[in-house]
Amino acid sequence: MANSPSGDSMTDRLVRILETFTPTRTVQTAAEIARRAGLPDSTAHRIVGELVATGLLERDDDRRVRVGMRLWELATRSSRALRLRQVALPYMERVQARVREHTQLAIREQDEALFLERLSDPASGANVTRIAGRLPLHASSSGLVLLAHAETDVQERVLSAPLRAMSPHTLVDPATLRRKLAEVRRLGHAAAPGYIESVSTGVAVPIRERTGEVVAALSVVLPRDAPIEQPLAELRRAAVDIEVALDPPPIERVSVPAERR
């Protein structure tokens, strides 16, 4: 791929442009994209124009740019996230119907929790999670589950980086976080009272592949002082059902005697 004078490839520039879109910044002018991507105006305009021509980006009547449906289609079609989400969805709906609070599914991606799905009742309380949005591993219940079961090098990397306080209750001391991760492994769930925002408590359980590897976390976001026992029981039940649905046991073959065939 052709490199620019600064040495970054066309792919680098493309990714930088796409990364300027966030869950809260979905529409931008080409000039804003150029500035946020750190690219010369002319380069950004040219690449944005090419992306609009292919449908990966779309322009509205005011010539402002947003992510195109074609990009969503291509990205979603064959992503491993799609299967996980599709398999999990009916069981997430059951949790949501019974607990009547936010129910969400996350995977670990580049040292953060990436949310694949969120179901919410209109009456549910506060929640900062967005679908295709991210939360820090150390500060969210899903993130704690994913981090507690991550490879040692991932844990050490996260523990040695500055741990940002999202609220006064976030665990920002590495030794305390280490103890919390051990607790998450021992109890089989993570509770994060007020870690993200003081008014809510996240509760999450792991979803495992047959190998035992944790591939996702299923969580609910409750009002801060709500009891966690019933939501936790629903989460555990859903996790078992999702694990079976992800990897159903082989159908037992009943051998029929020859004379009855």
Residues that bind ligand PHB (CB under 6 A): 126-129, 140-142, 192, 195-197, 200, 202, 204, 219, 221
Tell me the closest approach of the beta carbon of residue 166 to ligand PHB, in angstroms: 9
Tell me the closest approach of the beta carbon of residue 197 to ligand PHB, in angstroms: 5
Tell me the closest approach of the beta carbon of residue 66 to ligand PHB, in angstroms: 25
| 85 versus 134: smaller Cβ distance to ligand PHB | 134
Tell me the closest approach of the beta carbon of residue 102 to ligand PHB, in angstroms: 7
| 26 versus 198: smaller Cβ distance to ligand PHB | 198
- Closest CB to ligand PHB: residue number: 202
Q: How far is CA 205 from CA 51, 126, 185, 236, in A?
A: 40, 20, 10, 7
| 69 versus 128: smaller Cβ distance to ligand PHB | 128
Tell me the closest approach of the beta carbon of residue 180 to ligand PHB, in angstroms: 12
| 20 versus 141: smaller Cβ distance to ligand PHB | 141
Tell me the closest approach of the beta carbon of residue 205 to ligand PHB, in angstroms: 11
User: Cβ–Cβ contacts within 10 Å for residue 135, how many?
Assistant: 24
| 28 versus 141: smaller Cβ distance to ligand PHB | 141
| 44 versus 99: smaller Cβ distance to ligand PHB | 99
